[in-house]
Amino acid sequence: MTTPFPTATITGYPRIGARREQKRALEAYWAGRIDAADFTRSVHTLRIDTYRRLAQLGLGEDYAIPATYSHYDHVLDTALAVGLIPAATEDGTDADSASSLEDYFALARGTAQCPPLEMTKWFDTNYHYLVPELAESTTFTAHPKQLLSLVAEAKAAGHLVRPVLVGPVTLLALTKPAPGATTLPLDRLDEFTDVYRDILTALGDAGVDWVQLDEPALVADIPGVPDARLAEAARRSYATLATAVVRPQLFVTTPYGSLDNGLPALAESGIDALGVDLSAATRRIDPDYPRRLAATVPTSVRLVAGVVDGRNVWADDLVSSLNVLTGLGRESVSVSTSTSLLHVPYTVSQETSLPVDVASWLSFAEEKVTEIEALAAALTCGPEARLEAFNRADRVRRTRASSTRVHNAEVAARTAAEASNDGFRTDAATRIAAQESLGIPDLPTTTIGSFPQTAEVRRARADHRSGRLDAAAYEQAMRAEIDRVIGLQEELGLDIFVHGEPERNDMVQYFAEHLDGFTTTEHGWVQSYGSRCTRPPILFGDVSRPEPITVGWSDFAASRTSRPVKGMLTGPVTILAWSFVRDDVDLRVSADQIGLALADEVADLEAAGIGIIQVDEPALRELLPLRSRARAEYLDWSVRAFRLVSAHVSPQTQIHTHLCYSEFGEIIEAIDALDADVTSIEAARSRMEVLDDIDGFGFARGIGPGIYDIHSPRVPSVEELRELIEAALEHVPAHRLWINPDCGLKTRDYPEVRASLANLVAARQEVLESA
Ligand code: GLN
Ligand code: ZN
C-alpha cells in the first residue's frame, strides 16, 4: 500500500521564522549567549509550529508538507548527507550535539584556522548557497541520520512530512572540483547515485513514502555542460534510483523555468511524480510548456503543477491557474508552487503600513498556501467550492488593471517618447577632451561610495524613522557625519571624494522609498544566506521621481571641500534585481521607467554643479537569464536602461559605474556598452585576473580594479597594494587607471578603513614617484 501524492502541496517554505526567530537563535548561539541545547530547542519549536500552521492553512494531507528546514543552507545539508563533503563528526554522534553543530557552522562560516566554503547565488534568485568542493580522494557515503530525525520529530508531533534533498544531478553540477582535481564532479554521477540509493533505502526502511529531490539545474544552462548531457545524466541517475527495492516514491522538482531536454528524460526515467514550474512568469517565456507537459509526461507519473508563483509576491489569478490545470488534460494533477517559498516573506497580515490597495494585491507564503488549497479544491469540486477565494482573486485582477496608482499616463507617455532613444552620449573622444577640465591626476584615488555606518548613524536613522528625531535634527546628524567623512578624505589625501551615504539603510531600499511606484514592507524579510535577511521593496506601478533624492546631500558635501565630490546613485537594473517586480508588464518597461526617473536626478545633480556621477550596477550580471539563448536580449534592454540615466548629460560630466564581481568574461561587451567613462570593479581577491579579460577586449575607458578587499577586516600593506597597482599598470596606462577599494566601506570599521585608505594613497604615491 503506497500513499498517493497529496493534491495540494508546496515545494519549500521559509525557514527563518515569521519573526526571524531562527536568525535570533543562530546569532545568539554564535555569540555564546545560548548553548547548543537551547538553540536546538528553539529551532525544534519553530519547525513544529511551522508544520502545524501549514496543516491549518490547508496542507493537511500526508506528505503535503516538505521538511525544508536548514540550520544554514540546504545545499550544505544534502552535501553532508551524501558524503560529498566528508563530515568531521562520526555518524554515531547526535546531530544536535554541540560538536556536530560546531563542525557544521565551521563549514558555513569558517574558523580561525579554516576559511568557510565559497558562497554564490542559487540560480537566478537572491538566495546564496555554499559551494561544495569535491576532492578526487573523496568517497561518497550515506549519512541519512539528519533526514531521519526531521521525519521522526515531525511524526511525533503528528505530521507525515516529506524529506527533501538537492537532486544528484544538480548537486554535482553546482559542485566545483577541489584545487588540483582533474575530473569533473559530474563524471562521478554513477557512484554518487548509489549513495542516494542508500539514503532512499534508509528512508524507505523508516516507513517514509515520499521523498522530494530538487533538480533546478535541468532548467538552466550550466557552463561547460550541454543541456543534452545534463538531461542524459538525469535519465541515468533516476533510472537507477527508481530500481531501488525498498524506497519511498520519488518526487522530482524542476523550479526556476521550463524543462527542455530534461522533460522527456525525467518523464521516462521511472520517477513517480514530477514537479514543474507553471507560474505565469514561466508561461510567458515559454507559452508552449503546458502543451509539451501534457504530451510528454505519461499518466503513470503524477504531474505536480507549480502554478502559484513561489518567488514573487502577487496574488494568484486563480481563474487562469485553474485553466492551466484543467488544460493539462489529465484526470488528476496536484497543485503546487513553481519554486520553494523560500524567496518570499511569511505573511501579508503582519504588515500595517502598506497602502491598503497594494496590500490587497499581495500574497506572501501563507497566502500562497491558501491559494493552493483553493485551487486543489476547485479542481475537484469546481470554483464554487472556494467562491470567496475566486471572487477575491478576480477583484484583485480588476482593481490592479485599472488602478491609477499602478498606471501613470505621464510616465507611459514619457517612456513611449524615449522608445527610440538608445541612450548614447557624445563620442568618447569628445568626452575625454571635455573632461580635461575636471583636472583629474594620473592614478586618481577614490572610494566606491559608502563609509562605515557607525552605531550613531544607524541610531539617527532609526530614531528619525520612528519619529523620535525630527527632520531638522536628523538632517543635522547626517550633515555632521558627511562633514566627518569629507574631513577624513581631506586628511587621507584622496583625489575624488564621496559624501559617504550615511542616509542610506540599503542602496536599493533607499531609492525605492523615494520613487513613486514602489512600496516597502515592515516585516517582509527573506533569507539571503545563513542568518542574513533582506527586505526587498515591492515595485507595483509606473515609476517616477516626485522630487530630488540625493541632491541635497551631495550638494552639502561639495560645499565642504574644494575637491570634486562624486554623486552616487543605484542603477535601474540593480534596483529591479533586488526588488519584487511587477508581473503585469515586462521587466524592460520598468527598467526604462527607473532609468528615466534617475535621469531626472542626474540632471539635478549636474545643475547643482556635481561634475562626476556614479551609477552603481552591482547586480547587472545577477539578472542574466538561466538560458543562454535569452541573454543577448536581456543585456540589450538592461544596458539601454542604464544608458538612459545619463543620456542627456553634458560631455564634461564624468559618469562612473561600479560592478561587484571580477569575472567580467561573459558580459564584458555589455560592460563596454554601458558607455560609462570610468568603471570600478571587484578585483583584489582575484589578483587583477580581471584585467586579462579587459586586454582581450580593448576596453578603452577609465577603469578602477579594486585593490583593497573590503570583504575582509585585514589592512593591506603599502607593499602589496603597490604590487597590485604595478600589476594593473601592465594592462592599463596611468591616466586611465583608477585606484580604489573593491566595493563600499559600509560594513567595515573606521580604524581599519582609515589605515587601509592611508596605505592605498601611500602606495599610489610610491608608484607615481618611481615612474
Ligand atoms: N555605492 C555603494 C556603496 O559604496 C555600492 C555598493 C555595492 O556595490 N554593493 O555602498
Ligand atoms: Zn560593490
Which ligand has an atom closest to residue 656 CA?
1
Residue 523 known to bind ligand = no
Q: 699 or 739, which is more confident?
A: 739
Judged against a pLDDT cut of 70, whether residue 558 lies above it is answered with yes
Pairing of strands 702-705, 678-681: parallel
Ligand nearest the Cα atom of residue 681: 2
Q: Note the pLDDT of residue 115.
A: 84
Indicate whether 625 pLDDT > 80.
yes
Average pLDDT of every residue of the chain: 94
Quick one: pLDDT at residue 89? 59
Q: Looking at the predicted structure, is the pLDDT value of residue 414 above 90?
A: yes
Percentage above 70 pLDDT, the chain:
97
For 173-189, the pLDDT digits (tens) are 999 999 888 889 999 99
Q: Is 142 in the pocket of ligand 1 (CB under 6 A)?
A: no
Split at pLDDT 50, 70, 90, the class of 686 is: low
pTM greater than 0.90 (yes/no): yes
Phi and psi for 418 in degrees, rounded to 5? -90, 5
Which residues neighbour 757 within 8 Å (Cβ) at sequence distance 6 or greater? 447, 492, 494, 708, 741
Among 197-201, 571-575, 705-709, the least confident range: 705-709
Nearest of 540, 597, 607 to residue 569 by alpha carbon: 597
Distance from Cα 593 to the centre of ligand 1, integer Å: 22
| 389 pLDDT above the threshold of 70 | yes
Instruction: Let me know the angle formed at the C-alpha of 307 by 301 and 310, rounded to the nearest 5 degrees.
Output: 110
Please tell me whether 682 is known to bind a ligand. yes
Looking at residues 448-471, what average pLDDT do you find?
Answer: 96
Give the pLDDT band (50/70/90) at residue 343. very high
Q: What pLDDT score was predicted for residue 86? A: 82
Residue type, 81: A
Q: How many other C-beta atoms can be found within 10 angstroms of the C-beta atom of residue 410?
A: 9
Q: Which of 413, 423, 489 is nearest to 451 (CA)?
A: 489
- Mutation test of ligand 1: which of 448, 570, 612 has the most ligand atoms closer than 8 Å to its C-beta? 448
**Residue 489's pLDDT band (cuts 50, 70, 90):** very high
Of the ranges 62-66, 413-417, 446-450, which one carries the lowest mean pLDDT score?
413-417
Please indicate whether residue 711 is annotated as part of the active site: yes
Grade residue 91 by pLDDT with cuts at 50, 70 and 90. Answer: low
Burial class, 206, CB count within 10 angstroms (exposed 0-12 / middle 13-18 / buried 19+)? middle
pLDDT tens sequence across 232-287: 999 999 999 999 888 999 999 999 999 999 999 999 999 999 999 999 999 999 99
What are the φ/ψ torsions at residue 303 (nearest 5 degrees)? -90, 125
567 lines ligand 1 (CB under 6 A): no
Q: How far is the CA of 609 from the centre of ligand 1 (A)?
A: 23
CA-CA-CA-CA dihedral for 462, 467, 469, 473, to nearest 10? 110
How many angstroms separate the alpha carbon of residue 568 from the centre of ligand 2? 13
Annotated binding residue 533: yes
Residue 53 binned pLDDT confidence (cut-offs 50, 70, 90): very high
Residue 587 has pLDDT above 80, yes or no: yes
Choose, from 128, 159, 407, 711, the residue flagged as catalytic: 711
Whether the pLDDT of residue 543 is over 80: the answer is yes
Pick the ligand that lies closest to the CA of residue 613. 1
744 in contact with ligand 1, CB cutoff 6 A:
yes
Q: Reply yes or no on whether the pLDDT at 537 is more than 90.
A: yes
State whether the beta carbon of 460 lies less than 6 angstroms from ligand 1: no
Place of cell 493552493: 372
Find the mean pLDDT for residues 663-679. Answer: 88
Centre of ligand 2 to C-alpha 221, Å, is 26
Question: Over 70: is that where the pLDDT of 521 sits?
Answer: yes
CB of 748 closer than 6 angstroms to any ligand 1 atom = no
Residue 687 burial by Cβ neighbours in a 10 Å radius (0-12, 13-18, 19+)? middle
Give the residue carrying C-alpha cell 537566478: 124
Range in 83-87, 208-212, 741-745 the model is least confident about: 83-87
**pLDDT above 90 coverage of the chain, percent:** 88
Our answer on whether the CB atom of 571 is closer than 6 Å to any ligand 1 atom is: no
Q: What is the mean pLDDT of residues 397-402?
A: 96
pLDDT given at position 99:
84
362-379: average pLDDT: 98
Residues 477-501 have a mean pLDDT of 98
Note residues around ion ligand 2 (Cβ under 5 angstroms). 618, 660, 743
Mean pLDDT confidence for 93-121: 86
3-state secondary structure of 140: coil
449 is in an annotated binding site: yes
Cβ 615 under 6 angstroms from ligand 1: no
